[in-house]
């Protein structure tokens, strides 16, 4: 027996205006990691997968900046941009 309440798809969306703010933050974090001699992509992937802020340097307030982005929002934005949709 199927339960119709559990068979429904939940719609998830974020405001489009968040994209530019997220891009600005990610660019700042990327540049801060690079300035400190880290591999920015590896560090940012580590942060995204674990949500452990110690993957991100405190240089230029990067650690505090990236924590302003909700991980679900970030993943949605990254996927939309990668897929061009």
**10-44: per-residue pLDDT in tens?**
876 655 667 889 999 999 999 999 999 999 999 99
Q: For the chain, what is the domain count?
A: 1
**52-61: per-residue pLDDT in tens?**
999 999 999 9
Q: State the pTM of this model.
A: 0.76
- Is residue 78 domain-resident? yes
- Is residue 5 domain-resident? no
Domain span at residue 43 reads 20-83
What is the structure's pLDDT at 20? 85
- Is residue 10 domain-resident? no
Query: In terms of C-beta density within 10 A (0-12 exposed, 13-18 middle, 19 or more buried), how is residue 63 classed?
Result: middle
CA–CA separation, 62 and 40 (whole Å): 12
CA–CA separation, 4 and 73 (whole Å): 28
């Amino acid at each position: 027996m199927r339960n119709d309440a559990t068979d429904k798809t939940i719609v998830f969306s974020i405001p489009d205006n968040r994209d530019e703010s997220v891009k600005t933050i990610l660019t700042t974090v990327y540049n801060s990691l690079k300035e400190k001699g880290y591999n920015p992509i590896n560090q940012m992937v580590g942060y995204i997968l674990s949500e452990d802020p110690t993957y991100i340097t405190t240089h230029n307030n990067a650690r505090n900046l990236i924590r302003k982005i909700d991980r679900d929002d970030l993943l949605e934005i990254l996927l939309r941009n990668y897929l061009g949709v």
